[in-house]
């Protein structure tokens, strides 16, 4: 049996005074691009409008950067700033 293994990374997202949990499900260790795409889906904020902060530092969206490179792991909290699209 050839089962796929997934990474599940649960993050708390502060956005507009609210806190929501987001779970990233990825086949490899999650990247900043995985996070941005998930935030776009969950919060309807286009990737180019997102500003993501962790421990006061802004994350720059380098698609191949692992979240662990920023020190972001399961259970951490990030802050999201951005304008929702109306589509």
Q: What is the pLDDT of residues 25-38, one digit of tens each?
A: 999 999 999 999 99
**5 pLDDT above the threshold of 70:** yes
42 pLDDT exceeds 90?
Answer: yes
What is residue 36's predicted lDDT score, i.e. its pLDDT? Answer: 95
Integer Rg of the chain from CA: 13
Task: Break the chain into its structural domains and give their ranges.
Answer: 7-81
Q: List 19's β-bridge partners, or say none.
A: 14
Q: Which residues contact 71 (CB under 8 A, 6 or more apart)?
A: 54, 55
pTM of the predicted model as reported, rounded to 2 decimal places? 0.90
pLDDT given for residue 2 in this prediction: 67
The conformation of residue 66, written as its DSSP 8-state character, comes to: B
CATH number for the domain whose boundaries are 7-81: 3.10.20.90
């Amino acid at each position: 049996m050839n089962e796929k293994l997934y990474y599940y990374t649960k993050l708390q997202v502060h956005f507009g005074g609210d806190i929501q949990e987001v779970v990233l499900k990825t086949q490899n260790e999650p990247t900043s691009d995985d996070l941005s795409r998930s935030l776009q889906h969950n919060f309807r904020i286009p990737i180019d409008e997102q500003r993501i902060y962790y421990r006061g530092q802004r994350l720059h969206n380098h698609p191949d950067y692992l979240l662990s490179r920023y020190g972001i792991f399961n259970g951490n909290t990030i802050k999201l700033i951005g304008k929702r699209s109306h589509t």
